[in-house]
A and B are shown apart, each in its own frame.
Chain A
Amino acid sequence: MLSSWRAQLLITRIALYIASALIVVWSVAPFLWQVSTSFQEDRLLSSPTPNFLPWPGTLDHFYNIFVEKQFHLYIVNSAIVAGLTTLFCLTIGGGAAFALARLRVYYHFGILALILSVSMFPQIAIVAPLYLAASSLGLMNTYTILVIIYLSLGLPLVIWVLFGYFQTIPREIDEAAIIDGAGPLRLLVSVILPMSLPGFVTTGLLAFIMAWNEFMFALAFTSGVERQTIPVGIANFTNLYYVPWGDLAAASVVVTLPLVLLVLAFQRWIIQGLTQGAVKE
């Protein structure tokens, strides 16, 4: 009786490990294949049997993207746009989330729901009017227009996640600070902000990833390597007669590796930040 129960437990354990191994393979294998591809010569890439390990390795693809395709220029553009977006998202979104969570605002759940519904708009619906507005204001092909658009795309998420963080800080702390004579701004900057630093780091990372990865607006509003961001650069990576899979893989690795490392480093906080909306139910 006992041994059959033990056997059942063992089988469950083994099944669990197999299932989680499958999940890891599913999640990581395509990217690892991309890494391996980026170090393989074109000759190996077009052989009938794929080579799983990049041996003999080559750095040709990395040379191609940086020297021939000037990939670093796209990286600079993306870094400027995503960095500025993150900065503005955190200051503007942080203020709004603070007001909604801590100050006396009527209908604050209604306002939150409205903000969330704005983020569900089909983005293609705002491209045309924004295009006309940007043309008449002379903002086409500038960092400014991308930062403004990404700010409004990122704000709903930033406000939601920071609102959740602020709610976890006990209210007694506010009351103590107010009695000590702190106004709302002091309360935010010297009390709430230091206490929710992990929240700001996570939210900043989410905003950064959003801006780093955005494609459609960057495609519509920029032209030429001096303003285009990484996704547009990668999308346009095609040679006339064949698809340069090796170069594409190299570019993918270069732009994704920093994100993957950041995400792995902050994974606990990110999961907490992203899922708290679902837990609130």
Chain B
Amino acid sequence: MTTLPSVGLVAGSRRSKRLTQRSRAERWAPLLFLLPAALTLLTVSVYPVIDGLRLSLRNTMLSTQEDAFVGLSNYVRLTADPDFWSAWRHTMLFTAASTLLETVLGMAMAIVLYETFKGRGWVRAAMLVPWAIPTVVTSKMFGWLFDGQHGVVNWLLMQTGLIDGYVNWYGDSQTALLTIIIADVWKTTPFMALLLLAGLQTVPHSLVEAARIDGAGPWQCFWSIRLPLLFTTLLIAGMFRALDAFRIFDLVYVLTGGGPADSTEVLSTLSYKVLFSGLDFGYGSALSAAMFITEALIALGFGLFIVRRMRRDNG
């Protein structure tokens, strides 16, 4: 900052003209660098959301060429649609259960990995495997593991005496959603653990050391020092997990297709069916708008909680 004027003075007028040109370029450069990304995100992510809201006020049918403004009638239909509410409940249940399980199990894994021991690098590497596997492959993999006739999970549970007859996991409306939750927990927990581990490593070691000298055991150290300091990170990680879980599509679509008897139908799969099997783009858009609103409310809830928490921590 301080060097620039002196350079200008020494170099004379031609140099200073080039400098003003450069400063003009400097003013426009950030915009030029940001423009392609901004254009992409605005046209492919933001505009479609707004266009979706417009569609949700129309009765656009791809099969009959119907396309007229119908006001809020799609939303009125939505409030009385039992399929919508059942999918809404499944989605909320899935989101709550998977987020909670993944956070708790992820925390346990992170605590193990926080200690230094031989081979820790290998354990961490192995934990990336479930994250890297395509979700469609995960679905098929769990389809085979939890198969009702030849699935290895049934066989293992029989051998250990935990069940006394084969369970038709995702073929039975009683256990299908549970199977999907298990598959999701398998896929996402290790990643959650790595996030939380990174958070744990930022807790100053001196604090834990001081508590230890004062006679605190490892449990006490965890509950009264590490966990409170990690709480905000935990909430943020939980929020992103919940927002992601809420959009679940691949696992359900491939493993059960929403069945049996609609017991695993979630909002994304229901919207997809209304859009591409029913070709009802108006009502389908109202469905996804309702999803958008629910997702925004979840984010808002977490956000308020996080901000309150941060305020308390800082003041």
Contacts and interface: CB of A to CB of B under 8 A. Distances in A.
Interface string A66-93: 0000000000000000000000000011
B75 interface: no
Interface in A234-281: 234-235, 237, 243, 245, 248-249, 252, 255-256, 259-260, 262-264, 267-268, 270-271, 274-276, 278-279, 281
Contacts of A213: 134-136
B223 interface: no
A239 to B, nearest CB: 14
Contacts of B47: 129
A248 B41 contact: no
Given A49-B155, A279-B201, A118 B136 contact: no
B212 to A, nearest CB: 13
Contacts of A100: 34
Contacts of B144: 33-34, 37, 245, 248-249
A243 to B, nearest CB: 7
B37 A96 contact: yes
A126 interface: yes
B276 A92 contact: no
A19 interface: yes
Interface in A107-146: 111, 115, 117-118, 120-133
A122 B40 contact: no
A281 B190 contact: no
Contacts of B124: 267, 271
A249 to B, nearest CB: 7
Interface residues of A, number: 94
B129 A184 contact: no
Interface stretch (B78-86, B172-180, B291-299): B291-299
Given A45-B150, A121-B45, A16 B117 contact: yes
A215 B136 contact: yes
A26 B191 CA distance: 13
A128 B113 contact: no
Nearest to B128: A263
Contacts of B34: 95-96, 99-100, 105, 111
Given A92-B37, A93-B37, A23 B199 contact: no
Interface string B182-208: 000010001100111111011000000
Contact of B247 (A124, A149, A248, A268): A124
A28 interface: yes
Given A255-B137, A263-B128, A184 B271 contact: no
6 smallest A-B Cβ distances: which pairs?
Answer: A275-B198, A152-B44, A99-B33, A96-B37, A126-B48, A129-B51
Given A23-B127, A152-B44, A215-B134, 16 more contacts: A23-B126, A24-B122, A26-B186, A30-B145, A31-B129, A33-B141, A46-B149, A103-B26, A124-B288, A128-B52, A128-B281, A131-B281, A183-B22, A184-B25, A213-B136, A234-B134
Interface of A: 13, 16-17, 19-20, 23-24, 26-28, 30-31, 33-34, 37, 45-47, 49-50, 92-93, 95-96, 98-100, 103-105, 111, 115, 117-118, 120-133, 148-149, 151-152, 155-156, 159, 179, 183-185, 188, 209, 212-213, 215-216, 219-220, 230-231, 234-235, 237, 243, 245, 248-249, 252, 255-256, 259-260, 262-264, 267-268, 270-271, 274-276, 278-279, 281
8 contacts: A20-B123, A23-B127, A115-B41, A184-B26, A249-B144, A263-B132, A264-B125, A271-B194
